[in-house]
Amino acid sequence: MSADPAPDPTPRFAPGARVRVRDAWPERRRLPSGAPSCHIRTPHYLRGREGEVQAVLGAFANPEDLAFARPAPRRLLYHVLFAQPPIWQEGGEGDTLLVEIFEHWLEPAPESADASGKEAA
């Protein structure tokens, strides 16, 4: 374990904050060899989805760098709560998903009234 001289970053989101997971798909880029160009710990089914920060879990070395043995700055990790039925069109009313998401995958949820996820339109 090497000491990290940088202090842990200040959380951008507090518990209770409404957030949206970035609708980004960097894994679609491939290296010329055809190999994956990235390693991502954000499940695909949550991209573009809105949830609520439940807890700030602390700062951890960014797995997207660790996977390629690059220097890995510490990034804040959040526990984010999502309503389950809008995501899968299944499950019971009030069922939820609780998932660890790194801060660089989160953005503030839009203010609009119908911002309940991709299917809102």
Partner 1 sequence: MSAPARAESLARLERLVAALRAKGLVSEEELAAMQARTDRASPEIGARMVARAWLDPTWRALLLQDGAAAAERMGVSMAGAPPLGVLENRPGLHHLVVCTLCSCYPRAVLGYPPGWYKSFEYRSRAVRDPRGVLAEWGTTLPAGTKVRVVDSTADYRWMVLPMRPEGTEGWSEDQLAALVTRDALVGVALPQVPARAAA
Residues that bind partner 1 (CB under 8 A): 41-43, 45, 57-58, 60, 63, 77, 81, 84, 88, 90-92, 94-102
Minimum CB–partner distance for residue 121 and partner 1 (Å): 22
Q: 24 or 57, CB closer to partner 1?
A: 57
Q: 95 or 110, CB closer to partner 1?
A: 95
Question: Which residues lie closer than 8 Å to 74 by C-beta, 6 or more apart?
Answer: 4, 6, 8, 9, 59, 60, 61, 62
Q: 25 or 88, CB closer to partner 1?
A: 88
Minimum CB–partner distance for residue 41 and partner 1 (Å): 5
Minimum CB–partner distance for residue 40 and partner 1 (Å): 9
Q: 51 or 109, CB closer to partner 1?
A: 51
Minimum CB–partner distance for residue 70 and partner 1 (Å): 17
